[in-house]
A and B are shown apart, each in its own frame.
Chain A
Amino acid sequence: MSRSVRGRAALVLLAATLAVATAGCATTVHPWDRDLLAQKRMQLVPSPMLHAVDQHVYFSKEGSTGGDDVGGGGCGCN
């Protein structure tokens, strides 16, 4: 896949998910409906520390960076 096709595909993916993410007020989630969302296991990153350990392992063994946060440190491992 050429670079421009790749770039375009990524933009389409971005736009599609943005559409889902900001889709109109079709479902309003009421405060009493946040019971499930309040559970720790429903968080995007339930354990920041374990997540950091994972990111470090994959960063050392692969060519890509983590991507969901900024400012983490580098190491002499890649």
Chain B
Amino acid sequence: MSLTRVHDAWAFRFVAMASPCELLVDTDDRAEADALGRIAQAEASRVEAAYSRYLPGNVVHRINHAGGAPVAVDDETALLIDYAAACHQMSGGRFDITSGALRRAWKFDGSSRVPTAAAIEAALAHVGWHRARWADHVLTLPAGMEIDFGGIGKEYAVDRAAGLIAGRTQHAFLVNFGGDLFAAGARVGDRPWAVGVDDPTRPGEASVYRIEIKRGGLATSGDARRFVLHEGKRLGHILDPRTGWPVEDAPSSVTVLAPTCMEAGTLSTLAYLEGPGARAFLEREGVTFWVL
């Protein structure tokens, strides 16, 4: 981790959830920035430890290896599953935390290897939130199915960290975990935070947009880093759980501004899954967005 002065704010940086994370605090107080940064780091680590599907021993691991048996979950997990269930319902099935099983068919390594229809068919048999039974803090997944909070985990961690920090400081701050961020208040002198939206063709190297934000959550969905080249088209790594295929003609990247990072993330994912209809979808929803 590191603590550096950036544009007269303190930036506490660390790595979590396989992404570069940072907390920017609009203060001169180094000690305060350090203390708040540690809170952000602790929360990011906690959420990762609890909900990463790569770590053995957590609730997600238990659920994914229950082999069809019911699993009782704690309050926080229940709320997360409730959120995912609500998103599944309101998106008509496009948002589905059980869609991770499609990974068995698709490998997004930049190559042009595309799975066969049969392989996708087989993977789809284990996808579908409607197949799960969820009630009263007990989740029952049929054998072979798995859940993955990857689509909402980072945004959730951002909002949680922001909540914890907001309770401990009067200064404006910005939490950014791997590109999903939340800005809590304008900087001193009513100045906004400056956020750059990555150029999808040169990820990590250049910004194509400069967004000025004072308050709210920002999240981006796109195929910048993980994709498959198929028949000359880039197919993003976000798969439509209803078809098993990536979205055709999806925008390169969709960035959405919403009151919380979770809402921004969910809306950007849903917009992305609309493919060519992304812009129209976001216009109907009446949110601020940037589509590339």
| Interfacial residues, chain B to chain A (CB-CB below 8 A) | 192, 212-216, 257, 288
Contact = CB atoms under 8 A, between A and B. Distances in A.
A31 interface: yes
Nearest 4 interchain pairs by C-beta: A31-B288, A32-B214, A32-B213, A32-B216
A27 to B, nearest CB: 12
* Contact-residue size bin, chain A (C-beta under 8 Å from the other chain): under 10
Interface string A14-55: 000000000000000011110100000000000000000000
A34 to B, nearest CB: 10
A33 B214 CA distance: 7
A30 B190 CA distance: 13
Contacts of A32: 192, 212-216, 257, 288
A32 B190 CA distance: 12
Contacts of B216: 32
Nearest to B213: A32
Nearest to B218: A32
Given A32-B216, A32-B288, 12 more contacts: A30-B212, A31-B257, A31-B288, A32-B192, A32-B212, A32-B213, A32-B214, A32-B215, A32-B257, A33-B214, A35-B214, A35-B215
Q: Which one of A31, A32, A35 has the greatest number of beta carbons of chain B within 10 Å?
A: A32
14 contacts: A30-B212, A31-B257, A31-B288, A32-B192, A32-B212, A32-B213, A32-B214, A32-B215, A32-B216, A32-B257, A32-B288, A33-B214, A35-B214, A35-B215
